[in-house]
Structure 1
Amino acid sequence: MLKNSRRRYGLVAVLLHWIIAVGVIGEFALGLYMTGMDYYNRMSQFLPYLHESIGILLAGAIFLRIAWSIANPRPAPGSGVGPLARAVSRLVQFCMQLLLVAIVVFGYLLSTAEGEGIPVFDWFTLPALMDTEIKGEEDIFLFLHYWLAWAVIALACLHMLGALKHHFVDRDETLRNMLGLGNAD
């Protein structure tokens, strides 16, 4: 089943969730590694190119997931999920999506700050939409991109802890549903 049902996430939602999860973790690790690189590192040209290319593809998956989640309502929470837990879960998920969009925007602004587009694996170039001349703009964009990434990782850890709580403490279907293993309607 491609679409979400009343009790279970569909294949598209599950695949987008895990593609984005793995992509965000990989991009975070790569970005963190790059912060410790110096200019003379032989990878100092390739890794930013790789980070930007993956980031643009990941941005596409993020926007697709947001559109998909608007068009396909999520399954109803289990009967044991109270209103407070439901509200916290939705807030964390909303904040993660908002922060992911912000990270993409600031990463794009950082990468195009000099007016040059972003080559994506030499398949195509995402053009620079504006060439501002704000003093220190690259530092501002880098600061926001970096710290928002840490915020997403913190929220993702909360999200994972919540999923593990559902599985091991509450013993409900939440984690199994997100793995695509839950009971069908």
Structure 2
Amino acid sequence: MWRNSRRGWGWPVIVMHWLSALAIFGLFALGWWMTSLGYYDSWYKLGPWWHKSVGISLFALTVLRLVWRHLQITPQAHGTRNEQRAAFVGHVLLYVLLLVVMASGYLISTADGRGISVFGLFEMPALITGLKDQATLAGDVHWYASCGLVILSLGHAAAAFKHHLLDGQDTLRRMTWPLR
């Protein structure tokens, strides 16, 4: 139940998948809401603190997820050859967009040379600073990549429901409970 099999995903992958999905949609909603806050709003500093802390945590989870995926077998893909190719490309794009969103968020947050406090437990150092228009350019990339990530994630969910409801496959079930 901890390791993947040719039939399904193990618990670590399932938990990482759903934690990532929750973080992605939560961070998107929080980020969008934060842009409407006024300077004197009580969440003006607290919202970004949570956003950055959860974002760095998601980065760590994503690295762990990629390492775990590399070390484990992958369950047999369902669908036609074209559907399998589309699923592969879709998953690669999800990871690429996720990494672009996190890298651009890091560049926004560290543009002034200060590190990022992660839940007040430790600080992620500012390694890249002082680039011309760093916060502005990274902000634009962050916004558009975040929108793309959410749209692609919704397409990913729609495809899972299509495979489950229309094709009668266990694709969705495999990501909710380990199959042996």
Provide the rounded CA distance (Å) in 2 between the counterparts of 1:118 and 1:166: 41
CA separation of 1:133 and 1:170: change in aligned 2, threshold 3 A: closer
Amino acid at match of 1:94: V
Contact (CA 8 Å) 2:105, 2:138: kept in 1 or not?
yes
Deviations 1:107-142 (A, max 9, x none): 0111000100000111001111132241x2211111
Aligned residue number for residue 49 of structure 2: 49
How far does residue 40 in structure 1 lie from its aligned partner after superposition?
2.3
Aligned residue number for residue 37 of structure 1: 37
Taking only the aligned residue pairs, the percentage that are identical comes to: 32
Aligned residue number for residue 159 of structure 1: 156
Amino acid at match of 1:153: V
- 2:98 aligns with one of 94, 97, 100: 100
Provide the rounded CA distance (Å) in 1 between the counterparts of 2:68 and 2:130: 33
Aligned residues: 180
Contact (CA 8 Å) 2:107, 2:129: kept in 1 or not?
no
- 1:148 aligns with one of 142, 145, 150: 145
Provide the rounded CA distance (Å) in 2 between the counterparts of 1:161 and 1:14: 18
Deviating 4+ runs (over 4 angstroms): none
- 1:119 aligns with one of 117, 120, 130: 117
Provide the rounded CA distance (Å) in 2 between the counterparts of 1:106 and 1:133: 13
Aligned residue number for residue 131 of structure 1: 129
Normalised to the residue count of structure 1, the TM-score between the two structures is 0.94
Q: Tell me, which stretches of 5 or more residues in structure 1 are unaligned?
A: none
Q: CA RMSD in A?
A: 1.0
Aligned residue number for residue 168 of structure 2: 171
Normalised to the residue count of structure 2, the TM-score between the two structures is 0.96
Provide the rounded CA distance (Å) in 1 between the counterparts of 2:86 and 2:122: 40
Deviations 1:55-109 (A, max 9, x none): 100110111111111111310023xx10000011111111000110111111011
SS at match of 2:123: strand
SS at match of 1:26: helix
Deviations 1:23-51 (A, max 9, x none): 11110110010111122222101100110
